[in-house]
Structure 1
Amino acid sequence: MSFDLWGEQAHLDPLPILARMRAEAPVARLLDPHQGAPEWVVTRYDDVVELLRDTRFSKDKRKLPAGAREMYFRVSELDALDKHMLFSDPPEHTRLRSLVAKAFTPRRIRELRPMIVESARRLLEPLRSRGEADVLEVFAFALPITVLAELMGVPVEDQDRFQGWTKTLAAPPDFDSLRRMAVEFHDYLVEFVERRRREPTGDLTSALIEAEELGDRLGTVELISMLFLLIAAGYETTGNLIGNAVWALLSHPEQVERLRGTPALLESAVEEVLRFAPPVKNTIGAYPLADVEFCGQVIPAGEKVVASLLSANHDPSRFADPDRFDITRSADKHLAFGLGSHFCLGAQLARLEAAVAVEALLREFPKLALTGEPTRWKEGVFVHGRTKVGVTW
């Protein structure tokens, strides 16, 4: 059986391929043509839930056999930036997440709302006279980078460089560019953290430095890695979520009209976008440290396993008529943010930014519509976003 998740059809519409996988090979061993390495893909909702809770699979590449590490991890310059909770297992993951949660609080996120609303207004203001644009280029990614810079306390004079590094991280033109970005970004974050140690403010960086539990604090390397994770996770994924929301809503005009007529559906609409077109289609790799039997398949030690969040969110065993976009649906059990100990810490912020973005666009541009220009899904096995979302107003 062949399921090409890297080919042209997957970039046009991956859902038919994923439906076949759920029916014929729900735990399938594929070959990633970019890495030349095996990748197991889990596609059924219940199996994805089981995988995300299974402690036999490790996120920590340092625990892998040397051959597996060399096969799946090749950009050594990024090693100094990945000592964070995404690539760790309990008890280290529990420790890191607990410390970060003390700084990344729901209250801190709620207090960002006025700034996010004002940032959205400011970004949309100069577009009034244009009449047509790519939402991704002018708004969807500009908003989260503005929010991240404000949240972390990045000085205004550094924000252009900050944005440039973040864009390179999200879509590196080549490995050399990625390596240079890693070195420059690392050096900047080292200096930035030390500056905040000397001159703390009310930003998240200062809060992370001050976070303490039972006498434990984040070390400098852990702080830098955690900031890098928040940037990497918060920029590309939230930008894709906003872009996917605009694309999904405008592709279904009746849903837009329903939302305009009933603004109270905004929260439900964001949840349906997260289910229907999640900004992350697959989890990062997890690796068994010994041969593991999982859902009838034996997965050899060190081979990468990913959960298809996109497929799970379209599994008819969990969601009725799953390929239909319906903002009144009760989609609260979607897996867009993962599950269990690795559930996305920034879920509340992503939801808030998406809601503010959609509300602002529909309010400012009552005649907002897609241009009809052909588009597709971006390449890559992790993020899930459109290459372009052209709109007119």
Structure 2
Amino acid sequence: MSDPLSCPEFLQNPYPFYGELRATAPVTPVATGSTGRPSYLVTGYAEAKAAFTDPRLSKDTARFFAGRPSNRNLHPAVAHNMLATDPPQHTRLRRLVTKAFTTGAVARLRPYIEHTVDHLLDGLPMTGEADLVAGLAIPLPVTVICQMLGVPEADRAQVRTWSNDLFAAGQPQRIDDASHAVADYMKGLIEAKRRSPDDSLLRELITVRDEGDQLSEDELVSLAVLLLIAGHETTTNFIGNATLVLLQHPELLDCVRAAPGQISSMLNELLRYDSPVGIATFRYSTQALTIGETEIPAGVPVLISPGAANRDPAQYLGPDRPDADRDARGHLAFGHGIHRCLGAPLALAEMEMALRALLTRFPELRLAVPSEELRWRHTRLMRGLESLPVFTL
């Protein structure tokens, strides 16, 4: 049995598939992976919100895969990061980094983000064609999170390549190789910062590790890798997806061009309409449970889809069209509950400043190719464009 979540049609546009599945049942078994074993896919909004907070759904992948034969070779720093833990371990690790992503901490970063946006837009042609994914959506969040962690500028392009490889659907060897490359890199960077301390977030975590018992060396490496990857992947997709939505819907574009201050209030609707996270990271049932009206046995993967839930007509009227007047603050693009994305304030700030500057600098911005020619990344977890060709004038 083939995996429908890895087929080209799904990766190009998952929403028809989500809609058909949700109409059958908001929680449905689907075949996943090369074995075709069933996982339960959650596509309904109420069901997804409940699943995100149900303690019977564990994220402890080490426990799930213990004793199971596997031909995979993921580096432990990637396989067993903070996202793959439950309380109290998750609570302890998250507390160590939360302060770096509070609203106040992000506010202090805004001048740097604004400077980075301006620098990147300076590199785009004032007239002619440009790729907004390569020219803005990728380098902005990569630059910001690398700056926070103290990753040297010369290494940042390679970091992005490894990150992209980690989400390559259907290519396990490529994923495994990237996991070792990025983990080995972070080990080296940690040692370099031990020898030459700086004021980076990574150096702060090293101090926590070296001067107390709150963090093991393996956890330090794993946390550094997670921050590096998660700190830009979602935002890269968010910038590309949201810009495309605006360019495809002139009524929305007219709103933000007429009143740039509207961008902040529209971000949640843009996130709802085309979530940068299609399917949330791995969970499994520790015991039999019922979500919605579907009985789920113990010991099976449960896949929660924010992308599907955010298009649930039971929650949002006319969900398959973006609405500038919609109050979409309850969307699940950043997840929900204790695992909600801690980088959400940073992602929103980067997106707001990027969109505002882009549309101000290039008031005649428009797509350079028909929408149907755009290609999406080959990953079912993330929802993001490979490129976004535009005419700047």
**Scaled by the length of structure 1, what TM-score is found?**
0.91
Note closer, same or farther for the CA distance 1:154–1:199 as it changes in structure 2 (3 Å cut): same
1:300 deviation in Å? 2.7
378 and 160 in structure 1: CA distance in 2 versus 1, 3 angstrom threshold: closer
Q: Which amino acid aligns with 1:48?
A: A
| Paired-residue identity, % | 37
Distance 1:206 1:228 in 2: 14
The structural deviation recorded for 1:256 is 0.7
Q: CA deviation at 1:292?
A: 2.9
The CA deviation string for residues 68-104 of structure 1, in whole angstroms up to 9 with x for no partner, is x546xx5323223344320000111111111222444
* Counterpart residue number, 1:377: 376
Query: Under a length normalisation based on structure 2, what TM-score does the superposition of the two structures give?
Result: 0.91
| Distance change in 2, residues 1:349/1:124 (3 Å) | same
Verify: 1:206 aligned to 2:208, yes or no: no
SS at match of 1:112: helix
Q: Secondary structure, in 3 states, of the residue corresponding to 1:284?
A: coil
Q: Is structure 2 residue 128 aligned with structure 1 residue 128? A: no
User: Which segment is superposed worse, 268-277 or 167-176?
Assistant: 167-176
In 2, the alpha carbon distance for the partners of 1:76 and 1:111 equals 40
In the alignment, does 2:320 pair up with 1:327? Answer: no
2:163 and 2:304 map into 1 onto residues whose CA distance is: 25
For residues 227-306 of structure 1, the aligned pairs below 5 Å read 227-306=224-303
Which whole-Å CA distance do the structure 2 matches of 1:219 and 1:10 have between them? 40
* Aligned partner of residue 111 in structure 1, secondary structure: helix
For residues 326-373 of structure 1, the C-alpha deviation after alignment (integer angstroms, 9 at most, x for no partner) is 223211000000000000011111111111111121011110001233
Structure 2 counterparts to residues 75-224 of structure 1, below 5 A? 75-129=72-126, 131-171=128-168, 174-211=171-208, 216-224=213-221
1-structure distance, mates of 2:101, 2:13: 36
Give the count of matched residue pairs: 388
Q: Which moved more, 1:190-199 or 1:18-27?
A: 190-199
Report if the CA contact (8 A) 1:121-1:360 is conserved. Answer: yes
Match of 2:21 in 1: 21
Question: Which 5+ residue runs of structure 2 have no aligned equivalent?
Answer: none
CA RMSD of aligned residues (A): 2.5
Matched residue, 2:390: 391
Q: Could you tell me which amino acid in structure 2 is paired with residue 223 of structure 1?
A: L
Matched letter for residue 385 of structure 1: G
Given that 1:265 and 1:328 are in contact with CA atoms closer than 8 Å, whether structure 2 keeps it comes out as no
Change (3 A) 1:163 1:379: closer
Structure 1 pair 129/362, CA: closer, same or farther in 2 (3 Å)?
A: closer
1:313 matched to 2:291? The reply is no
Cα deviation digits, residues 256-284 of structure 1 (max 9, x gap): 11111111211122111110011001111
Structure-2 change in CA distance of 1:36 and 1:172 (3 Å): closer
Once the two structures are superposed, what CA deviation does each residue of 1:180-238 show, in whole Å capped at 9, x if it has no partner?
333232222112123323433221112223459x9642222111111111122122211
Do the aligned residues in 2 keep the contact of 1:103 with 1:208 (CA within 8 Å)? no
Provide the C-alpha distance between the structure 2 equivalents of 1:11 and 1:195, rounded to a whole number of angstroms: 40
1:163 partner letter: R
Q: Secondary structure at the match of 2:189?
A: helix
Alignment match, 2:58: 58
Deviates more, 1:292-301 or 1:25-34: 292-301
> Any idea what SS the aligned residue of 2:74 has?
helix
CA distance in 2, matches of 1:215, 1:115: 31
SS across alignment from 1:335: coil
**Aligned 8 A contact 1:275 1:335 in 2:** yes
Query: Is the Cα–Cα contact under 8 Å of residues 6 and 169 in structure 2 kept in the other structure?
Result: no
**Structure 1 residues 35 and 224 mapped into 2: Cα distance closer, same or farther (>3 Å)?**
farther
Please identify, of 237-246 and 96-105, the stretch whose mean Cα deviation from structure 2 is larger: 96-105
Distance 1:203 1:272, change over 3 A: same
Q: 1:183 to 1:253 in 2, by over 3 A?
A: same
Contact (CA 8 Å) 1:81, 1:224: kept in 2 or not? Answer: no
* Inter-partner Cα distance in structure 2 for 1:210 and 1:130: 48
